[in-house]
Copies of this chain bind each other. A is one copy, B any other.
């Protein structure tokens, strides 16, 4: 391990790691998607490994189109403790099904787009 026993991340490092913008990180904290992030003496955020891990989860959910409101629910369930694990499973499984539908849907429409492309190719020869 380095000079610090525990890994902490500056906002800049978290931006780097997660791909969220600094404004988005602050926004997520404000609305309660993140628990209040620890601060150093100067009041600057210091993210823990855990925070970064959680952000990874959020990125996954957002990236697959989960609305903020539902992520918020997931965050609350997570904070509420172990007795909510079943609910979290349900939430994620429902989301997983939606992702599956999204993929199917995209594939279907892709076929139509490709048909159009082929048609155009046949027009220009």
List residues of A whose CB falls within 8 A of some B CB.
Answer: 57, 60-61, 63-64, 82, 85-86, 88-89, 92-93, 95-96, 99-100, 102-103, 105-107, 109-110, 112-114, 116-117, 120-121, 123-124
Contact = CB atoms under 8 A, between A and B. Distances in A.
B82 A113 contact: no
B116 A92 contact: yes
17 contacts: A57-B116, A60-B112, A60-B113, A61-B113, A64-B109, A82-B123, A85-B120, A85-B123, A86-B124, A89-B120, A89-B124, A92-B116, A92-B117, A96-B114, A99-B110, A103-B107, A103-B110
Q: What number of copies of this chain does the assembly contain?
A: 2
A64 B92 CA distance: 23
Contacts of A95: 113
